[in-house]
Structure 1
Amino acid sequence: MGLHMENVNDIWFDNVEIEEKDMLSTEGNGLLATSRGFAYERLTDAFNVYGQALCAYEDACRYANQRIAFGKEIGKLQLIQNHIMEMAMRIYSMRDMLLHFAWNKDNDMLKREEASIAKQYCSEAANEVVDHAMR
């Protein structure tokens, strides 16, 4: 498991000089300049895990309608239906939250705490969806 489509690497610059016109901010304030993009990054991360959760949910629903046990599809069993309902509940809440916060972002109204809430909640909810999907 993991995010094989996303590369994470370190880049080190030694003895590199940048012209003043190419700097993001004044010297020593680069973190402050780049932190303006953190809210967008958090929202992007939240959408990423939402997509993973949605995929797990769709796979689980498809499997529940194909797998036969006790003479019928396991999707007709109450316990499996409860797992599917738990997954759907989290999928819908993630989607609605993300659409609201994305609208805020598009209209320059996204607050830093909203992006943090989206990333935290969606990460936890996606883990729960995947957990239910694997049962």
Structure 2
Amino acid sequence: PYMMCIAREYENENPYKDMSWYLVPLNAPGVKISVLDKIGCHCMPTCEVYLDHVELEETDLVGVKGKGFYQLMKNFETERLFTCVSNVGMAMCAYNDALAYAGTRKQFGKNIGDFQIIQQKLCDMKIKCDNMYNMLLRCAWKKQNGEQLGVDASLLKRYTGKAAFEVIDDAMQVMGGIGYTNDCRIARLWRDQRGARIYAGTEEVMVHSSARALIKNGPSTFCK
């Protein structure tokens, strides 16, 4: 087994032109891995990696030497797109669970879906799900047709990460106490989606990179 690692070469004064990707054998001398105990995403282990004087061969190089940073930035588009697919899917699952529950759970002699406050939550959840889905389709179409996503990938990640969590959080509220237990999947979706607001670029980083690009490009980019 191997891991991918980006490393500084210290051959170029410009750090962005001095990084390269390498395949590092997990059993190589000097490699130490410590698994982190997360509250969610249990199907995807996260580790701290320590490298103590690990020696590699030139054949372990992945891609072009000195181009690692640019490879990383290019891969971010695809990573964020895949992350957003998960965001939208989990939000839709939560919405469907809440909708089904609201149509069967009785309180005060009628289904809770008959109460206006529950109806408002369901309507807002549906609007967010549709908005996320439409933004995702637009970015997927651009990717499939060879267009650069650029700022769209950051905006999509920023919006779906937060909106999906809000949908899942509202679904938990609609389902009440049972939604806070491990007897239904809402609790797992809630834990997993909270992490999606951090990995593949935090919401704050997405705002910074998006706004910087929008301001630089000017009003002509609006609604393109």
If the length of structure 2 is used for normalisation, what is the TM-score?
0.55
1:69-116 Cα deviation digits (max 9, x unpaired): 111111111111110000000000000110110011111113221111
Asked if 1:91 corresponds to 2:129, the answer is: yes
RMSD, aligned α-carbons: 1.9
Residue 66 of structure 1 deviates from its aligned partner by 1.4
Select 2:55's aligned residue among 16, 28, 31. 16
Aligned length: 134
The one-letter code of the counterpart of 1:46 is C
Give me the whole-angstrom Cα distance separating, in 2, the residues matched to 1:119 and 1:99. Answer: 13
User: Equivalent residue for 2:188?
Assistant: none
Structure in which a larger fraction of residues adopt helix = 1
Asked if 1:108 corresponds to 2:164, the answer is: no
1:15-49 Cα deviation digits (max 9, x unpaired): 3323358431214x322222211011011111111
Asked if 1:57 corresponds to 2:95, the answer is: yes
User: Equivalent residue for 1:26?
Assistant: 65
Gaps of at least 5 residues in structure 2 are 1-38, 174-224
Equivalent position SS for 2:47: coil
* RCO comparison, higher one (Cα < 8 Å, 6+): 1
Residue pairs, 1:42-81, within 5 angstroms: 42-81=80-119
Give me the whole-angstrom Cα distance separating, in 1, the residues matched to 2:69 and 2:82. Answer: 19
Give me the whole-angstrom Cα distance separating, in 2, the residues matched to 1:42 and 1:93. Answer: 17
Q: Percent identity?
A: 34
Higher Cα Rg: structure 1 or 2? 2
Is the alpha carbon distance of 1:12 and 1:32 closer, same or farther for their aligned partners in structure 2, counting shifts above 3 Å? farther
Whether the 8 Å contact between 1:101 and 1:114 is mirrored in structure 2 is yes
Give me the whole-angstrom Cα distance separating, in 2, the residues matched to 1:21 and 1:74. Answer: 60
Is the alpha carbon distance of 1:18 and 1:112 closer, same or farther for their aligned partners in structure 2, counting shifts above 3 Å? farther
